[in-house]
Amino acid sequence: MSDRTHTSHPDIEKVLLTERQIKARIAELGAQISRDYSGRCLTMVSVLKGSVIVLGDLMRSVSGDCCVDFIGVSSYTGTKSSGVVRLTLDLRENPEGKDILIVEDIVDTGLTLHYLLENFKTRGPRSVETCSFLNKPSCRKVSVPVKYVGFDIPNEFVVGFGLDHNERFRNLPYVGVMRSNGGK
Ligand code: 5GP
């Protein structure tokens, strides 16, 4: 596992979070979630596509009973949010009566998470909580509760560890800031 804070990737300006930092923090979140949901079956809902990498590590660090489902939403084109959130894929299982943990890659304006929370309210889960790998608190347009936060980061467009730019860079094992002319 790498703790390198430099990258030779031509599109990445700097490494913001190293692989080692990320793994350590996800393990902490997993331990906290395990304690909070002790004795209950948790359903993690991964918001596609950005959260799938963090989901894999998070699920494996949760010790209790845990199921997974996926939901797809879209609001971004390139590096800009359109402000209009749309469902691109619905859950496979009915969330009614379940303890749901929404797992996001990043909360920026908050519009996506707000949309999802409103959506879940109408579907009768036993509980709904939220987890986001990254959080940009300075960018909020709507206030949303994020119970489990991996890292608060500044207002920069980041890629890697699941996060993309036009579908690229999800496979980077770290989180990096893209060069302003990157991804061309
Ligand atoms: P929000 O609705 O909170 O503005 O944004 C949520 C979605 O926007 C995220 O799930 C993610 O897909 C995208 N997003 C927001 N900020 C960034 C960023 O810095 N990098 C990347 N790659 N995606 C972002």
Distance 182 CA to ligand 1 centre (A): 17
Which residue puts its alpha carbon closest to atom 5 of ligand 1? 108
The residue type of 50 is G
Q: Each residue of 107-146: pLDDT tens digit?
A: 999 999 999 999 999 999 999 999 999 999 998 999 999 9
State yes or no: pLDDT of 151 exceeds 60.
yes
83 near 75, Cβ under 8 Å? yes
Ligand 1 atom with the smallest distance to the CA of 114 is 2
Q: For ligand 1, atom 23, which residue shows the shortest CA distance?
A: 163
Q: Which domains does the chain have, with CATH numbers?
A: 15-178 (3.40.50.2020)
Beta bridge partners of 77: 80
Model's pTM, two decimal places?
A: 0.94
Rounded Cα–Cα distance for residues 51 and 105 (Å):
4
Rounded distance from Cα 38 to ligand 1 centre (Å): 31
Determine which of 2-11, 24-33, 132-141 has the lowest per-residue pLDDT on average: 2-11
pLDDT of 82 higher than 80: no
* pLDDT tens sequence across 60-81: 999 999 999 999 998 766 566 6
Nearest CA to ligand 1 atom 12: 50
CA of 28 to the centre of ligand 1 (A): 23
Burial 155-167 (b: 16+ CB within 10 A, else e): eebbbbbbbbbee
The atom of ligand 1 lying closest to the CA of 112 is 2
Pick the atom of ligand 1 nearest to 169's CA.
22
| Helix residue ranges per DSSP H, the chain | 19-36, 52-60, 111-121
Residue 179 structure tokens: 């060069």
pLDDT of residue 80: 65
Catalytic center residues: 108
* Residues within 6 Å of ligand 1 by CB: 50, 75-76, 81, 104-112, 157-159, 163-165
Q: Which residues contact 15 (CB under 8 A, 6 or more apart)?
A: 4, 5, 6, 7, 174, 175, 176
**Dist. CA 71 → ligand 1 center (Å):** 15
